[in-house]
């Protein structure tokens, strides 16, 4: 379990999260499920199996079903800051919590002299998402 704490993120990101939540229900913390290090064996990456997408769809279903006991609104992930990984999460409807790396670096107190930021915070709103159509294999 995890949460999105609006007090620690820029107003622009808070607006992105709260856009579809009724005004009087705005909170300082929103319950979330953290997807840890999701990975697919290299042997199966980029193949016709779409294993990563199947896992994400399963998680979406699991946490948005009526019998879900967690009460979570969002899925969050600290995605490796590699273009193929970021593209994967974007294809699966995740959005960046911070507009760009510089903002994320500043908000997370990562020194500017550090070569790179290793992960990017991304989120998915479970109430406003559909499953992606799975290609027929």
Which residue would you say has higher pLDDT here, 106 or 121? 121
pLDDT over 70 at 8, yes or no: no
DSSP code of 8? G
What average pLDDT does this structure show over 92-117? Answer: 86
Between β-strands 95-96 and 119-125, what pairing exists: parallel, antiparallel or unpaired?
antiparallel
Greater confidence, 48 or 25?
48
Sign of the C-alpha dihedral computed for residues 33, 43, 130 and 58 taken in this order = negative
* CA pseudo-torsion sign 7, 30, 92, 52: positive
Q: pLDDT-derived band of residue 64, with 50, 70 and 90 as boundaries? A: confident
Q: What is the DSSP letter of 78?
A: E
Structure tokens at 51: 């294993």
- Read off the DSSP letter of residue 7: G
Strands laid side by side in the 95-96 sheet:
2-5, 29-35, 74-80, 119-125, 95-96
How confident is the model at residue 114, as a pLDDT? 73
User: Which tokens sit at 66?
Assistant: 């009526």
What's domain 2-128's architecture? 3-Layer(aba) Sandwich (3.40)
Q: By mean pLDDT, which of 36-40, 46-50, 73-77, 133-137 is the weakest?
A: 133-137
User: In this predicted structure, what is the pLDDT of residue 133?
Assistant: 57
Token pair 């990975």: residue: 39
Distance CA 119, CA 121 (A): 7
Task: Please report the pLDDT score of residue 94 as a whole number.
Answer: 94
For the chain, the average pLDDT equals: 83
Does the pLDDT of residue 132 top 60, yes or no?
no
């Amino acid at each position: 379990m995890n949460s999105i704490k609006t007090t620690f993120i820029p107003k622009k990101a808070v607006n992105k999260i709260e856009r579809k939540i009724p005004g009087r229900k705005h909170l300082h913390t929103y319950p979330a499920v953290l997807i840890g290090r999701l990975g697919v064996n290299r042997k199966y990456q980029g193949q016709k199996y779409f294993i990563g997408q199947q896992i994400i769809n399963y998680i979406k279903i699991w946490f948005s079903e009526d019998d879900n006991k967690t009460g979570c609104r969002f899925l969050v992930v600290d995605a490796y800051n590699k273009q193929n990984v970021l593209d994967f999460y974007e294809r699966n409807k995740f959005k960046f919590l911070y507009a760009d790396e510089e903002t994320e670096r500043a908000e997370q107190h990562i020194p500017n002299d550090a070569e790179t930021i290793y992960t990017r915070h991304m989120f998915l709103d479970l109430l406003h998402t559909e499953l992606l159509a799975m290609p027929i294999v």
